């Protein structure tokens, strides 16, 4: 059922597995698990700038840089309430190589089973 916590549970299980050195390949049609790449040990505004919606910043009458700072603080506060600190985030980031393959798109590493190269014999 939607909203029952399946994605959250999956994310937590993947984080724990990666930190423990267990390799994983995930297939994620909806793109929710890609949030694992949002690992910013410093939790600084600069880290969040690429992910800020420019329209949200504009609605508040501030620059993307200005908008990113309180977003970073919001994340830092939220994570600390769950006893997650920068050392744990760094441990996760250092525990695995994160790669996104994107069929039919250039937003990650493109993959296509329709494209092929001629093999030389």
In whole angstroms, what is the distance from residue 98 CA to residue 116 CA? Answer: 25
pLDDT value at residue 37: 84
In whole angstroms, what is the distance from residue 98 CA to residue 21 CA? Answer: 13
pLDDT value at residue 117: 54
Beta-ladder partners of 101: 109
- The pLDDT mean for the chain works out to 87
**Positions in the chain whose pLDDT score sits under 50:** none
**Residue given tokens 């267990």 in the structure block:** 22
pLDDT value at residue 20: 94
pLDDT value at residue 38: 83
pLDDT value at residue 118: 55
CB 49 within 8 A of CB 64: yes
pLDDT value at residue 116: 57
The DSSP secondary-structure symbol of 43 reads -
Q: pLDDT, tens digit, for every residue of 24-41?
A: 888 888 888 888 888 889
pLDDT value at residue 115: 61
In the chain, how long is the greatest CA-to-CA distance?
62
């Amino acid at each position: 059922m939607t909203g029952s916590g399946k994605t959250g549970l999956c994310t937590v299980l993947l984080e724990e597995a990666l930190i423990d050195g267990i390799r994983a390949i995930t297939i994620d049609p909806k793109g929710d698990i890609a949030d694992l790449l949002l690992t910013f040990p410093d939790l600084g505004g600069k880290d969040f700038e690429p992910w800020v919606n420019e329209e949200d910043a504009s609605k508040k009458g501030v620059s993307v840089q200005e908008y990113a700072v309180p977003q970073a603080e919001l994340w830092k506060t939220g994570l600390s309430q769950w006893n997650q600190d920068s050392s744990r985030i760094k441990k996760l980031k250092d525990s695995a190589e994160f790669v996104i393959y994107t069929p039919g798109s250039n937003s990650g590493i493109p993959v296509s089973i329709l494209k092929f190269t001629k093999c030389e014999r």
